[in-house]
Structure 1
Amino acid sequence: MTESDQTGSQPPGLPPTPPPLPPEPADAGPRPVPTNEAEALEIGRQHFPEVGSPGGPAGLFVHEFDLGYLVFASWPPPEDPTAPPADPGGSQVAINKTNGDVTFLPNFPPEAAVELYHRFYRPSEA
């Protein structure tokens, strides 16, 4: 494959950026089904460090969409904004409105995370 055959705009010598991983379902078992944003937030809290704890998020937020609720964190600004992040990456939690399935999604903007959820989510068999 020549460089002209590769997709993306990576600098020469670097491999192309891989596509995002598909959403990952959480463990199986009985799950509470949220009926509002407050209940979704309580379920989501179980999957993040305590708000305000050392290295923990500054806050947790909920974005409701047609199939569920997306719970995501905000993080305090780094002490040195020019340094690379200490813990790059992260994830968000989608909680299904119908059956309570919890799915981990990449740390994308809410609209992109919901789009990924729509593309890959398959209900659990429980």
Structure 2
Amino acid sequence: MTSDSPAPPTTAEQALDIVRSRYAQPRLPDGTPAQLRVEEFDIGYLVYAEFPPVTDAAGRPQPAPPGGSKIVVSKETGETVTVPNFPNPAAIDLYRRQRQ
């Protein structure tokens, strides 16, 4: 998904503001807002929600539920693009390949 291009961000906080103005706030299972994180890289900002680890009744770690996405904000144009909820390096690599 691509959105209209706002002014290009020059900081992680500006990239986060762009995402907040265009996308719904992700929520935790209890309904509270999930914390958003930003990872800056050479051509953009990767914005993603941070969810607590999932555990079973005995406290053993469980795999995260499938699905979801992360958002990249272009440093050049301010354009936003969703990428799959891959680990950050893989999501950034996919974005780079899509831009070539």
After TM superposition, the score normalised by the length of structure 1 is 0.62
Unaligned runs of 5+ in 2: none
Stretch of structure 1 that moved more, 73-82 or 63-72:
73-82
4+ long deviations beyond 6 Å = none
Using structure 2 for the length normalisation, give the TM-score: 0.75
Number of the residue aligned with 1:43 = 18
Does the 8 Å contact 1:56/1:75 carry over to 2?
no
Q: CA deviation at 1:26?
A: 1.9
Partner of 2:40: 64
Aligned Cα root-mean-square deviation (Å): 2.6
In structure 1, distance between residues paired with 2:54 and 2:17: 27
Q: Describe the shift of the 1:84–1:44 C-alpha distance in structure 2 as closer, same or farther (beyond 3 A).
A: closer
Secondary structure of residue in 2 paired with 1:61: strand
* Structure 1: distance between partners of 2:77 and 2:41: 15
Letter in 1 for 2:85: N
Instruction: Choose between structure 1 and 2: higher helix proportion.
Output: 2
Q: Which sections of structure 1, spanning at least 5 residues, go unmatched?
A: 1-24
Percent identity among equivalent residues? 38
Pair member with larger Rg: 1
Counterpart Cα distance in 1 of 2:41 and 2:63: 35
* Inter-CA distance 77–101: structure 2 relative to 1 (3 Å threshold): same
Q: How many pairs does the alignment contain?
A: 94
CA deviations over 1:2-39 (Å, ceiling 9, x no partner)? xxxxxxxxxxxxxxxxxxxxxxx323x34231110111
Higher normalized strand content (fraction of residues): 2
1:70 and 1:93 in contact (8 A); partners too: yes
